[in-house]
Amino acid sequence: MLEGVRQIGKTYRGSVEGGFAFSLIKEVEQRKETQSKKHLLRLDFWPKEDNLELSFLEINERTSGEYLWVGHRKGNVPQDRLTASNVQYILFGSLFNLKNSLPKGRLKETLEELVKRFFVQVKVKDKTLQVLDFRKIKGFPPDVPWPPREEPKKFQSEYKKIFFRHLKDSFGFSEDDFGLFAITIEGKKPSEIEEYVAYLEQAMIEEQFEESLHGICSVCGQKEELTWDTTSFPDKFYITKLIIFSSELLGKKGKEGFAKNFALCRECYRELLTGMNYLRNYLNTQLAGNTLYLIPGLFFHPVGKTLTEKWMDFSKRYFTSTFTPEAFLEFEEKVEQKLEDYREFEELIDYTYVDLLFYSINQSAFKIKKLIREVPLRRVRAIKGVFREVQKLGEELLGNGKDWFLSLNGMYYLLPIRSGEEVEHRKILELYESLFLGYPVDRKILVRFFLTLAQVYFFERQGYNVKPGSNPGWRLVQGILRTQFMLKVFEKLSLIERSEGMVAIESGVLPEDVEQYMRRMGYSEEEAALFLLGYLIGEIGAQQVQGGDSDKKPILNKVNFNGMSAKKIITLSSEVFEKLDQYRIRRYHEKTFAVMKGLMDAHIRDWHLSEAENVYYLLSGYAFCTYKMVTWKKGKEEGE
């Protein structure tokens, strides 16, 4: 994985103008399209005129580069950036800290002048703070009262509130309107100040090599000057804080300890830092309630083919087109619009893979949830093809609609897991791993998930990633049918075994749509018997709703959603026969009942299905019957 990140960094660095610091520029997170764009608040310092003006710029794709937004310094260290996402760093000391850190030169002299003219020293308890005197800001009232000097953090917090209050009164902007805050000096932006750019590059690399050692780089394998200090990395793949993770428990002492576990040369350090920044900016996405990085790479390099930015962008779009129906259609449209570009990439699909790094960030702590290595893009192509096949099958059997496109995110909402339970989330990621890498999946595990889905809807349970919604009865029907097509996806990808012994029923005995559905879904005779029993339960439920019993359909209370033994199923079939009589619909369904009973009796002494599978296939028949009746009724009403 690290080699992939390094290659990305190397590729990106080669395309960026302006030096290493410009390869670390971060994208600013914008609001939704329906909301107004965020702004950059620029503080223009003109020391010769003793003038400080504010400018308000709408953030666009060039803003981060022009103002050299590379993020804050990591850890509990003095901040020294001219651009920040937190105005507190600008108000309290970033200029002062930068001045102290710079070597002798024109920029250092200029900053000394700025600090002298525009900052004041404020003593709060036993701490002296360097504070920007915003009474000198053009447009602010000169008699702004300062907050009480009780405690440093409280003073800073209150001072910031006063600043934004006067900003609102004078210019109409509130704190939430800003994504960045930047300092310019005599009209020069941070990216235009050469000494500042050089300082950033020095601080980001050379500071980490102050206690360097010579040895073999853990990434490239070359003998070079090395560092183990990765504190400036945005994402911590290795732990360098706890002594128990260091070699021989030596920790940070001397040139041993962590250096034996993991050490980097300068070039690999630069490329990894750049690669991680590129991941955060451009290869970051979400799947199944998890954030993840898509890390593209080549299994080997075909003649004349290398990793490029264009290819990395294509890899992400190609992979994420399996996430939702909307992403799939958007990608297909772009392929049609830029067919020549797509053909160029199509040649590379067989050589390319993507690493999937699922992670979480909690209070700046980076935690890896799951790494799925080397998912071939040709496998993604196969998954996309199966999704298309199964959608077509769904439309042929149940009618048109995007409901039958089984996207990766769509699958997540067919697999209920309790919110906040890490073990449950891990199961979902393991299931995706099987899907991506072709590992076999136990059908019974999937069926158990599907029964839980039915329970969430039927009993309207809370606390899951799946919500019952305003019409849980209908969502139960749709959900169970979608799980049927999910099983077909797994079958077509050879992840689960197909049912043994396809059902064979004399043509014309059953309703045509029922017979066709069971045949196309590949049911065994046991599964078909349960499906037909569920179908009859659906017919009874419809009569109960028409009779005004309730929307819940009392017949479903006869079903144990945790699972039912074969013996209980026989008892249920007898009760279903009685209900057909009670609601005077037996004559319409005698043949269906007879086929169901014949199939059941033929296998009952040697029943292969589990208790969970018994209920699942029964609910599948119920869902099919209910869906057909509702859509038929809706279609009839629209026709009238």
Measuring CA to CA, how many Å separate 413 from each of 132, 392, 473?
Answer: 51, 21, 16
CB 610 within 8 A of CB 563: yes
| Predicted pLDDT of residue 538 | 95
* % residues pLDDT > 70 (the chain): 90
| Predicted pLDDT of residue 247 | 55
**Which pLDDT tens digit goes with each residue over 347-372?**
778 888 999 999 988 876 788 899 99
Residue 237 CA, distance from chain mean position = 18
CB 328 within 8 A of CB 380: no
Mean pLDDT (whole number) for 291-312? 79
* 119-124/223-227 β-pairing: unpaired
> How far apart, in whole angstroms, are the C-alpha atoms of residue 578 and residue 560?
19
Give 563's contacts (C-beta < 8 A, 6+ positions apart): 451, 610, 611, 612, 614, 615
Sign of CA dihedral 280, 286, 290, 292: negative
Tokens 């920790």 correspond to 251
> How far apart, in whole angstroms, are the C-alpha atoms of residue 432 and residue 415?
12
3-state secondary structure of 289: coil
- pLDDT at position 459 over 90: yes
> How far apart, in whole angstroms, are the C-alpha atoms of residue 491 and residue 580?
35
Paired with 284 in beta bridges are: 293
Measuring CA to CA, how many Å separate 51 from each of 45, 141, 142, 313?
Answer: 6, 14, 13, 45
Instruction: Quickly state the pLDDT bin for 640 (edges 50, 70, 90).
Output: very low
CB 127 within 8 A of CB 154: no
Instruction: Quickly state the pLDDT bin for 145 (edges 50, 70, 90).
Output: confident
Of 244-248, 298-302, 457-461, 629-633, give the lowest mean pLDDT range: 244-248
| Predicted pLDDT of residue 416 | 95
Top-confidence residue, 256 or 506? 506
**For residue 366, which phi and psi values (nearest 5 degrees)?**
-90, 125
- pLDDT at position 488 over 90: yes
- pLDDT at position 140 over 60: yes
Top-confidence residue, 614 or 305? 614
87-107 exposure pattern, b = at least 16 Cβ within 10 A, e = fewer: bbbbbbbbbbbbbeebeeeeb
**336-340: long-range contacts, CB 8 A cutoff, minimum separation 24:** none
**Which pLDDT tens digit goes with each residue over 252-279?**
555 555 666 678 899 999 999 999 999 9
Instruction: Quickly state the pLDDT bin for 4 (edges 50, 70, 90).
Output: confident
| Predicted pLDDT of residue 276 | 93
Average pLDDT, the chain: 88
**Which pLDDT tens digit goes with each residue over 180-222?**
999 999 999 999 999 999 999 888 888 888 877 888 898 888 9
Instruction: Quickly state the pLDDT bin for 332 (edges 50, 70, 90).
Output: confident
**Which pLDDT tens digit goes with each residue over 464-484?**
999 998 899 999 999 999 999
Highest-scoring range by mean pLDDT, 132-146, 295-309, 386-400: 386-400
**Which pLDDT tens digit goes with each residue over 310-328?**
888 889 999 999 999 999 9
CB 449 within 8 A of CB 411: no
In 3-state terms the chain splits into helix, strand, coil percentages (rounded to 5) of 55, 15, 30
- pLDDT at position 330 over 80: yes
- pLDDT at position 463 over 90: yes
- Smallest CA-to-CA distance from 376 within 275, 291, 299 is with 299
Residue 242 CA, distance from chain mean position = 29
> How far apart, in whole angstroms, are the C-alpha atoms of residue 277 and residue 22?
11
